[in-house]
Amino acid sequence: DVKVTQSSRYLVKRTGEKVFLECVQDMDHENMFWYRQDPGLGLRLIYFSYDVKMKEKGDIPEGYSVSREKKERFSLILESASTNQTSMYLCASSGNGLIQPQHFGDGTRLSIL
């Protein structure tokens, strides 16, 4: 079974801090994704990576950056956290071949005070 692990389930940070969210997958998947989930808005794509060191902006990249130095690890960085970035963050991965299902981690609930 594919396992996608997010380093923290709950995280509390202060406004202005630099925040790192880590995600690791164990299935050698090429594609990795970061989403944020907010009530009534569903999942919105922040960033997507299709290979090591490769990334694409998603629908809401402002205020975020990502890093993918190794195939199994995809990090989301909040450069200067703000209260409107309080949310549930979900990481996902998918394998080679077209239209593969995405496999999700259990999420990190981030609160910015």
Shortest distance (Å) from residue 28 CB to another protein = 15
Nearer to another protein, 49 or 75 (CB): 49
| SS3 of the chain: helix, strand, coil, percent, to 5 | 5, 55, 40
Distance separating alpha carbons of residues 61 and 45, to the nearest angstrom: 8
Burial of residue 46 (number of CB atoms within 10 Å: 0-12, 13-18, 19+): buried
Nearer to another protein, 17 or 41 (CB): 41
Shortest distance (Å) from residue 110 CB to another protein = 14
Shortest distance (Å) from residue 16 CB to another protein = 29
Residue ranges binding another protein (CB under 8 A) = 4, 9, 31, 33, 35, 40-45, 48, 58, 90, 92, 94, 98-107
Identity of residue 16 = G
